[in-house]
Amino acid sequence: MNLPATRNVERVVIATRRSRLAMWQAEHVKHRLRALYPGLEAELLPLSTRGDELLEARLDSAGGKGLFVKELEAAMADGRADLAVHSMKDVPMELPEGFVLAAITAREDARDAFVSNRHASLAELPEGAVVGTASLRRAAQIAERRPDLRVRTLRGNLDTRLAKLDRGEYDAVVLAAAGLRRLGLAARIRTLLEPAQSLPAAGQGALGIECRSADRALRELLAPLGDAASEACVRAERAVNRALGGNCSVPLGAYAELQGPRLRLRALLASPDGRRIARAECTGAAAEPERLGEQAAQALREQGAAEILALLSAPK
């Protein structure tokens, strides 16, 4: 892949998905850049991605998280864009050669949110109620706690998901709290699910800014947008996923919290029906987040992760 070389940065084009939430996130980064560098010109390049177009299929069966970033990376590769803004939970564990995460921003609320027009919490849902989610991770944890509920796939952008709830197609939906807060929809949250109830996805709540690895001047420009504490947590979480070969077909959660100079990391791996779940909790130096993530992955293996992974990879 031929990538443009380093240059002086006077103007940047930010690639983004077209959804309202993605546009908010890109605008947020644009405003932060303008605040840091008043003379910098910044504009958005909204793009449609394959992940946005496949509204009926589960991501795990359609190609995984890369469906949300490939078109943005193509725009950077051919020079139409200089950087891209992603929700970190949507970023594949391995980036293509020639690209790098230049910054991981300060994290919003990483928790999952229970949203319903008629019920106050997951525990109050009646037997047989229909719960919507696009996440195998969320579905597995719901099924473990409430096997009497019907968990159905819910795709589409945030507004589309809420509209389906409001039309009565679902009794409740589970969404990322961060997205609701960013769009001023926090009032829709009936209950926040604590990590002990629904362990978040690796990177949930944080934004990642991707650019070409060869563009050193841009990387230096973007570095101040990063948050060291959030980056350490997200790196530890992603290391769990990477060590287990995690992707959208693996119901895997990972959540790290900074506690002084150390990180507390919780992780789980589940079968989609929630009947088998391996859990691990580790602490380690915040300066070595990947090492802690690998430690947590090993602890999951000792709790039966290999058997769960074998079930997931077995022919359907």
* Residues tagged active-site: 90
Q: Give the list of residues 6+ apart from residue 315 with CB closer than 8 angstroms, or none.
A: none
Tokens of 222: 């973007």
Instruction: From residue 22, give the alpha-carbon distance in Å to each of 131, 226, 239, 271.
Output: 24, 18, 25, 30
Give the angle subtended at the CA of 310 by the CAs of 264 and 152, to the nearest 5°.
75
What is the per-residue burial (b if ≥16 Cβ within 10 Å, else e) of 258-270? beeeebbbbbbbb
Residue 176 φ then ψ, to 5°: -75, 130
User: Cβ(23)–Cβ(84) under 8 Å?
Assistant: no
Looking at residue 293, its amino acid is: G
